[in-house]
Amino acid sequence: MNLTSTTQVDPAVSVYYDRILLSRALPKLVHNRWAQKKSIKSKSGTMIKFRRYNSLSDATTPLVEGTPPPGQQGNKTDLTAIASQYGDFVHITDVVDLTVEDAVLTEFNILLGEQMGKTYDTLTRDILVACATTTACAAGKNAHAPTEITDADLGAAVDVLIGNNADYLTGVIKASTGVGTLPLAASFGGIFHSDLRTDFTGLDSWLPIEKYPNPGAAESYEEGRTDKIRWLMTTNASRIYHGIGGAHYLYNLLIFGKEAYGTIDIEGGNVKSIIKDFGSGGTKDALNQECTAGWKGWWVAKILNDTFMFNLTASLSSIT
């Protein structure tokens, strides 16, 4: 039988294009979650000054009748931060706009928004890991420096923050009406890399959010709690490749008290999406051949009180 098959007559279009675009793998952006958020007023320059009045020493000397004490001289600490401008854009040609099936400009605008968010998250992260109080985990068993995370190391970090009179970031989560539920105490905040997830879940103190008295009161991207620290997890947390003693990463675990750091933009100059349509370039785009989509904004992160922050470095428990 002489069948006419696709060997003789093949499809003119041999690939079906699915116009539902695939999702992108995006990190959880958490490093600006617990910041004090400030804006520099427009037409006031790019620098902001924070001021803190230092505590007076205790007045432990008894007063002498009729004689005033010598008094104390007040003093303050000033901190400054300078905002910088960031931004990026993409070119799109008229040929792409005319021939590609997708809504290219819309898609690139979404990509630029994702880029902006991750840029600000990374800028803040890199400021925070440079805090003054950094200690390596030492109570683990993997024979590396630092070791894997342990409850003892976390407890030591909490003790430092409590000793520095750092205030808790989160309030008490009240017990629910369920049988056997207990309130969750006020806590500091912490951020860890997703690589460390199983190390955290293996800690004796680990309490996942599904066991909170009210899981709905958890922060976005919160994974659980150790003693006095509620943890957010992200793939954008700080890790540094380390080749000494075997190739592996060192992880920065950031722990915060209230008002440990701030983020600053400029009023009226915060993030803007900017689209220049075909032909808007004048003689530089004489044939209306390109458009651009982009964003720009002002940003700076600043550690406001180093004694209210702690950077605990760790390695993976699985490293040999």
pLDDT at 131: 93
pLDDT at 174: 72
pLDDT at 29: 92
Closest to 37 in 3D by CA, of 258, 263, 256: 263
Which CATH number describes the domain made up of 29-52+76-320? Answer: 3.90.1690
pLDDT at 270: 73
Q: Please list the residues that pair with 103 across neighbouring strands.
A: none
pTM of the model: 0.86
CA dist 61 and 57 (Å) reads: 11
β 229-234/188-193 pair status:
parallel
Residues 6+ apart with CB under 8 A from 71: none
Q: Do 250 and 315 touch, CB atoms closer than 8 A?
A: yes
Cβ neighbour number for residue 44 with a 10 Å cutoff: 11
pLDDT at 13: 59
Q: Which residues of the chain have pLDDT under 70?
A: 1-24, 102, 175-182, 244-247, 320
Q: Do 292 and 66 touch, CB atoms closer than 8 A?
A: no
Closest to 199 in 3D by CA, of 318, 320, 30, 312: 318
Q: Per the structure block, which two tokens stand in for 22? A: 């695939």
pLDDT at 283: 86
Backbone angles phi, psi at 211, to 5 degrees: -105, 5
Q: Please list the residues that pair with 189 across neighbouring strands.
A: 230, 256
Backbone angles phi, psi at 159, to 5 degrees: -60, -40
Task: Supply the DSSP symbol for 78.
Answer: E
Residue with token string 């004090």: 36
Q: Do 148 and 137 touch, CB atoms closer than 8 A?
A: yes
